[in-house]
A and B are shown apart, each in its own frame.
Chain A
């Protein structure tokens, strides 16, 4: 009887050690293949509110084009990447809404989906206006 138990125990120990070794090795492999992205953000100066004559201004920062929309004294910024499949969204002044030229997705001036294939609203970028200056918070990304 004791033989059987010892046999069983040694089997469990062996398998669990092997399992942990396998898990660790697998974890290392995963880290090798998939790199984590860390982010840092910075505020950039996007012009003066008083200088902004048009309703929507496009500014370009690194890979992205950001759309700054003026609503009276407030200002909001949206990413111009359409949440459907990534085309660049345009502002149509006559219709007062954003339209994506690829599949016709429409968004209102708050970025909400009006119609079309977009699954979610336009991504909002933190913005604030201080002393007539528009400061947009954008991110730097690191891959580790």
Chain B
């Protein structure tokens, strides 16, 4: 009893009122929203190669409110990844990943990767032209990795070609494995945040209940309203049914893959596949790399490193904007 009361009376530093610093909580809400709308969609979705498109069509056009639930899920996913990305930028800029919070960064990076995976598997389940060809391209890229490439692409596709087995696998990944891993890593991430505290402390405090609660509720309502309005103004549509014999004129992945997509257009395939993997490792282990860099080259080296990081973020933003325009 005592512990509970203490938790409720907890006082938070006033910095948490600044949305810039409260960006971490937003993806958490959106995760719950995604799970909730995902379960609702699950009631009507049929994970079969033949019926998937039909079931999504039914959800969008026949079932009452289906379009809204689907819109919430789709735009929720976009917002989920977007807010994680913003949060990541904030943490990088404010150097909140430095000791002792390295593992917080690592788990956060893993969460980012998992959410991208959820996005990819999710829109591949619709089985319209975009889904099919995006899956094809994705598995081709995976397949062009040296040594493990073919094995990896067969693992994802469930065979040599995209078939019922592919859909079943991506479905299992999307509704069970990735959400489970997400939940696990979120728990670890929050635990680490609570353990080491937020990076920017402040003298002035404010109570958890009721002020912070109101804040969180406001954010939640705001997000919900925003996504609802977007779904109402731009209801989700459905492309043509997947046709393995007809490549559409424009295959583009979802916006969060644009940086990779642009990169692949600019460099040869082998580089384009190997470099992102290399970059992934650097990204996940960045706090340790920075510490090593500081020890080796001092502050100048770190400044260089961080400038490179900022340039990379700028590239991401530019790539996303550029690809959306074309």
The chain A residues found within 8 Å of chain B, CB to CB, are 28-29, 31-33, 35, 144
Residues of chain B with a CB closer than 8 A to A32's CB: 40, 63-66, 68-69
B244 to chain A, nearest CB (A): 32
Q: Say yes or no: B65 contacts A35, CB within 8 Å.
A: no
Interface size class of B (residues with CB under 8 A): under 10
Within 8 A of A (CB), among B33-85: 40, 43, 63-66, 68-69
Q: Say yes or no: A33 contacts B43, CB within 8 Å.
A: yes
Most chain B CB neighbours (cut-off 10 Å) among A28, A32, A33: A32
CA of A118 to CA of B215, assembled, Å = 58
Residues of chain B with a CB closer than 8 A to A144's CB: 64
Look across to chain B and name the residue whose beta carbon is closest to the beta carbon of A34: B64
18 A-B pairs whose Cβ atoms sit less than 8 Å apart in the complex: A28-B65, A28-B68, A29-B40, A29-B65, A31-B64, A31-B65, A32-B40, A32-B63, A32-B64, A32-B65, A32-B66, A32-B68, A32-B69, A33-B40, A33-B43, A35-B63, A35-B64, A144-B64
A43 to chain B, nearest CB (A): 28
A52 to chain B, nearest CB (A): 42
B264 to chain A, nearest CB (A): 39
Known: A28-B68, A35-B64. 6 other contacts (CB 8 A): A32-B40, A32-B63, A32-B66, A33-B40, A33-B43, A144-B64
Look across to chain B and name the residue whose beta carbon is closest to the beta carbon of A144: B64
Residues of chain A with a CB closer than 8 A to B43's CB: 33
CA of A144 to CA of B43, assembled, Å = 16
A11 to chain B, nearest CB (A): 11
CA of A69 to CA of B68, assembled, Å = 50
B61 to chain A, nearest CB (A): 13
Look across to chain B and name the residue whose beta carbon is closest to the beta carbon of A27: B65
Residues of chain A with a CB closer than 8 A to B40's CB: 29, 32-33
CA of A84 to CA of B73, assembled, Å = 43
Look across to chain A and name the residue whose beta carbon is closest to the beta carbon of B63: A32
Look across to chain B and name the residue whose beta carbon is closest to the beta carbon of A31: B64
A63 to chain B, nearest CB (A): 21
CA of A144 to CA of B66, assembled, Å = 12
Look across to chain B and name the residue whose beta carbon is closest to the beta carbon of A33: B43
CA of A97 to CA of B64, assembled, Å = 45
Look across to chain A and name the residue whose beta carbon is closest to the beta carbon of B217: A18
Most chain A CB neighbours (cut-off 10 Å) among B43, B64, B66: B64
Residues of chain A with a CB closer than 8 A to B68's CB: 28, 32
CA of A28 to CA of B40, assembled, Å = 12
Look across to chain A and name the residue whose beta carbon is closest to the beta carbon of B66: A32
CA of A35 to CA of B40, assembled, Å = 14
Most chain A CB neighbours (cut-off 10 Å) among B40, B65, B66, B69: B65
CA of A32 to CA of B40, assembled, Å = 9
CA of A56 to CA of B106, assembled, Å = 77
B241 to chain A, nearest CB (A): 23
A15 to chain B, nearest CB (A): 12
Flag B217-250 by CB within 8 Å of A: 1 or 0 each.
0000000000000000000000000000000000
CA of A100 to CA of B255, assembled, Å = 62
B116 to chain A, nearest CB (A): 28
Residues of chain B with a CB closer than 8 A to A31's CB: 64-65
CA of A7 to CA of B261, assembled, Å = 54
CA of A144 to CA of B62, assembled, Å = 8
Residues of chain A with a CB closer than 8 A to B65's CB: 28-29, 31-32
CA of A78 to CA of B161, assembled, Å = 54
CA of A16 to CA of B164, assembled, Å = 49
CA of A131 to CA of B153, assembled, Å = 71
Look across to chain A and name the residue whose beta carbon is closest to the beta carbon of B41: A32
